[in-house]
Amino acid sequence: MELLKQRILRDGQVKEGGVLKVDSFLNHQMDVTLLNEIGREFRRRFDGAAITKIVTIEASGIGIAAIAAQHFGSVPVIFAKKTRSRNLDGALYTAKVHSFTKDITYDVQLSKKFLGPQDTVLILDDFLARGQALLGLIDIVRQAGAQCAGCGIVIEKQQQGGGALVRAAGVRLESLAVIASLENGTVTFAQ
């Protein structure tokens, strides 16, 4: 998505440890005009998929998913919750996710009453790095017996391997900007 790539080149900042800071337009301050174009592009890529629910994860996925949903006939958005609690009750789908950067394992949780076998789900998120959170969401969609139409990602960092894991799980992946490298403080997009 050319508009997004141009914005990343203009306003993104490359930080230590392969981190791309996009907090001026995506995951702290949000440019809703850009988010609306992102939503339109997700719809274009998943046109015809008959999506009934959009699933994301708190916190940064929520704004993206809520705006995108309006391009899918205003289907409901469900955001999975992250908690370190082990205090689970029976009415939740849960998946364990390990964060390499924070070195913690947390539970991703989603209430069973909002997702079931009748649903066709589009999973959306802001970043795809190592892919552990996304794999947790895919697992939850499978636990629900729902159909997974695929995953839409705003920025994929290809070198961190998450995209390969998602595709290996047999899930369609559409990333609007794919970054091949952040070396020397420079953003290089994949071809």
Indicate whether 66 belongs to the interface with ligand G4P (CB under 6 A): no
> Residue 111 is inside which H or E element, if any?
strand 104-111
Task: Locate 52 and state its tokens.
Answer: 């009934």
For Na ion, the closer of residues 126 and 156 by Cβ is: 126
For Na ion, the closer of residues 107 and 126 by Cβ is: 126
Indicate whether 101 belongs to the interface with ligand G4P (CB under 6 A): yes
SS3 for 20-59 is EECCCCCCCCCCHHHHHHHHHHHHHHCCCCCCCEEEEECC
State the nearest-atom distance from the C-beta of 145 to Na ion, in Å.
Answer: 25
190 belongs to an annotated ligand binding site: no
Total of chain residues touching ligand G4P, rule CB under 6 A: 19
Select from 7, 8, 25, 27 the one that contacts ligand G4P (CB under 6 A): 27
Pairing of the two strands 188-189 and 173-181: antiparallel
Select from 4, 52, 60, 129 the one that contacts Na ion (CB under 5 A): 60
Site for ligand G4P in 138-157 (CB under 6 A): 157
> Residue 80 is inside which H or E element, if any?
strand 77-83
**Rg value, the chain, Cα:** 16
Q: CA 25, CA 34: separation in Å to the nearest integer?
A: 8
92 belongs to an annotated ligand binding site: no
Select from 37, 41, 119, 126 the one that contacts Na ion (CB under 5 A): 126
For ligand G4P, the closer of residues 52 and 124 by Cβ is: 124
Query: What burial class does residue 2 get, using C-beta atoms within 10 Å of its C-beta: 0-12 exposed, 13-18 middle, 19+ buried?
Result: exposed
Segment interacting with ligand G4P (CB under 6 A) among 36-44, 68-76, 113-121, 127-135:
127-135
State the nearest-atom distance from the C-beta of 183 to Na ion, in Å.
Answer: 21
Phi and psi, residue 39, nearest 5°: -60, -40
Please confirm whether the linkage preceding 59 is cis (ω < 30° from 0).
yes
State the nearest-atom distance from the C-beta of 128 to Na ion, in Å.
Answer: 9
For ligand G4P, the closer of residues 53 and 157 by Cβ is: 157
Cite the annotated binding site for xanthine by residue number: 20, 27, 157
